[in-house]
Amino acid sequence: MATIKFTFEHPDLDDKILEKVEADQSILEIAEDNGIHLNHNCGGVCACSTCHIYVEKGEDYLEEISDKEEDFIDRAINPRLNSRLACQCILLEENVSIEVQIPDQSKIIGHEH
């Protein structure tokens, strides 16, 4: 099973480590299933940029980025070279370690907190 560490830009949120994560799920699904809030205004269908994350470690174990995803990342707040959309980051393997950072979501329209 995979291990995923979530860190957060927002200073009030503590890191969260998930162990025993099964493959063939998106980072968005994994976050939501484990009580980690991550905006996804389009419902997780690669039609917006609100589930924008930074993949800090383990990018090789996630589904490759598509042209469509790259187009939406360009619209995200503060995109970086390691930016991805969590709805498109499908975990491909088990027995791996992945680290992602969730940007501060308080400036996103539709933010729920």
Q: What is the pLDDT of residues 52-63, one digit of tens each?
A: 999 999 999 999
d(Cα 66, Cα 53) in Å, to the nearest integer? 15
User: Which pLDDT does position 109 carry in this prediction?
Assistant: 60
Those residues with Cβ within 8 angstroms of residue 13's Cβ, 6 or more apart along the chain or in another chain: 102
41-46: long-range contacts (C-beta < 8 A, 24 or more apart)?
41/108, 41/109, 41/110, 42/87, 44/87, 45/87, 46/72, 46/85, 46/87, 46/88
Band (pLDDT 50/70/90 cuts) for residue 110 is low
- What pLDDT score does 105 carry? 85
Rounded to two decimals, what is the model's pTM? Answer: 0.92
For the chain, domains (ranges, CATH) are 2-102 (3.10.20.30)
59, 82 contact by CB (below 8 A): yes
